Structure 1
Amino acid sequence: MFTDIFVPELMGTAILILLGCGVVANVVLPKTGGFGGGTLLINFGWGLGVYSGVYVAYKSGAHLNPAVTLGLVASGSVDLSFVEVVVYIVAQVLGAMLGAGLAWAAYKKHFDDPEADEGSKLGVFSTMPTIHAPVWNVVTEVIGTFVLIFVILAFGKTPTQVGPLAVALLVVAIGASLGGPTGYAINPARDLGPRIMHALLPIPRKGSSGWHYAWVPVVAPIIGGVLGGLAANAVGFV
């Protein structure tokens, strides 16, 4: 029973993070083919990562994100036990760690390059705000995640019922419109799993893993996801 949740969520999230972290690496690390490609390329890369991950994880409903899991539960659109919720979240975090590790392996020589600075290396793995203002950083992430869950539930009950392309374009829209202040984590696993890998991997001159900020992209998306689920229920989407 739990295998039908754990394996698809693990693999789907791994694909999402591999492609998402991979596009960031391609844009920000020196000497890559996509160096300097800009934020819009990153937005579309993350969107297509979501698109691919949803297909891989269709058997589990393709949550790929603890905020989605908790938002769907809050909305009443899915009926999950406490243990099932834990299985979803554990699989998502482990999948994010796996995907981040694979992205590092794909770009290892670029991470080793002395021209790659600390900020760019961390930016491949996790988000950091452009202006450090914790309260407002939380507000940004809450709003972005609220939009994610609210609109998914406006479309349908789960990402697989909505359709991968619709969810992918929604993620691109959130990134392009709301991603500037914080890098739009909108997913606790997407930020925490790769941040753990940044701390663990043997990356030369990598600097801090930014743990002073790490609580924001974990706590804020959960708040936004739950609020989005409750709001969707209140207006009759569920």
Structure 2
Amino acid sequence: MSSSDIFIGETIGTAVLILLGGGVCAAVTLKRSKAQNAGWTAITFGWGFAVLTGAYLAGGVSGAHLNPAVTIGLAIKGGTEWSDVPLYLGSQLLGAMIGAVLVWLTYYGQFRAHLTDPEVVGAHTGEEGMVDKAAAPKAGPVLGIFSTGPEIRHAVQNMVTEIIATVVLVLAILTQGLNDDGNGLGTLGALVTALVVVGIGLSLGGPTGYAINPVRDLGPRIVHALLPLPNKGGSDWGYAWIPVAGPLIGGAIAGGLYNVAFA
């Protein structure tokens, strides 16, 4: 496949993935949203459908990696040329940022209503109603729409959780439903992978929010830091390396396990 195919497929597919995945987080989180407080099950199925849609859109163009951990796993397996890896990763990051911006545009009014509500921002404001940066938490009140965060902040546990969850995801992709050139998801593979993502969210997502995809976390976190959101608080950069490093390590382990146990 050509470089333009990789760029177009991965950028559009990842943008749709983040639009729908971040969109369900916004729908459940934000005030004046009809789905507010719909809960964790809605989020896990929303992300599963997001993966399914992105994979269907990009599968015939770029193979629908949509995730650097998947790209690394496929490269170790031998289905993706290492020379193509930087283009895959750069396109995925760009797509993730575009998707996050689209979530903001879609829920623009809800973001403003949520972030100007005294009940939401009261704990983060000073006497004059401005954000008290010294007292603001590491994670702002809407950061969870854009990126993940741990329920218990323990670097080793958080890293191990992300590695384990990503190994499950990437190994499932490597062992089923690949298209003819072994470089991405076929139609059946997209459906199975979407169901695997739902399963990971329900079973393994509780500790960290299951990034399992470096650009799914990093791209929207960058957008959160840049967007003109009132009272948005911090972007928690101190944690940001874990949902990047953990999935990359997990993808590499999955690729190695495939070569040892399934090749």
TM over 0.5: yes
CA positional deviation for 1:161: 5.9
Cα-to-partner distance string for 1:116-171 (whole Å, 9 max, x where unaligned): 55644100000010110011100000000000011112214432265221111000
Q: Which residue of 2 aligns with 1:200?
A: 226
Q: Which residue of 2 aligns with 1:44?
A: 45
Letter in 1 for 2:143: L
Counterparts in 2 of 1:149 and 1:162: CA distance versus 1, 3 Å: farther
Are residue 132 (structure 1) and residue 153 (structure 2) matched?
A: yes
Query: Moved runs in structure 1, 4+ residues, more than 3 A?
Result: 116-120
Letter in 1 for 2:205: G
Q: Which residue of 2 aligns with 1:217?
A: 243
d(CA) in 2 for partners of 1:123, 1:81: 33
Structure 2 residue aligned with 1:60, among 53, 59, 62?
Answer: 62
Q: CA RMSD in A?
A: 1.2
Q: Unaligned regions of 5+ residues in structure 2, if any?
A: 122-138, 179-183
Q: Which residue of 1 aligns with 2:133?
A: none
Q: Which residue of 2 aligns with 1:106?
A: 106
Q: How do 1:146-225 and structure 2 match up within 5 A?
A: 146-157=167-178, 158-160=184-186, 162-225=188-251
Letter in 2 for 1:154: T
Cα-to-partner distance string for 1:92-130 (whole Å, 9 max, x where unaligned): 000000000000111111111223556441000000101
User: What TM-score, normalized by structure 2, do the two folds share?
Assistant: 0.87
d(CA) in 2 for partners of 1:81, 1:223: 16
Counterparts in 2 of 1:108 and 1:71: CA distance versus 1, 3 Å: same
CA positional deviation for 1:79: 3.5
Q: Unaligned regions of 5+ residues in structure 1, if any?
A: none
Contact 2:162 2:210 in 1 (8 A): yes
Contact 2:69 2:247 in 1 (8 A): yes
> Which is greater in Rg?
2
User: What TM-score, normalized by structure 1, do the two folds share?
Assistant: 0.95
Are residue 141 (structure 1) and residue 150 (structure 2) matched?
A: no
d(CA) in 1 for partners of 2:187, 2:32: 40
Contact 2:71 2:80 in 1 (8 A): no
Contact 2:141 2:233 in 1 (8 A): no
Letter in 2 for 1:137: N
d(CA) in 2 for partners of 1:180, 1:192: 19
Cα-to-partner distance string for 1:177-236 (whole Å, 9 max, x where unaligned): 000000000000100000000000111100000100000000000000110111012112
Q: Which residue of 2 aligns with 1:70?
A: 72
Give percent identity, aligned residues only: 51
CA positional deviation for 1:30: 1.4
Contact 1:152 1:162 in 2 (8 A): no
Letter in 1 for 2:147: S
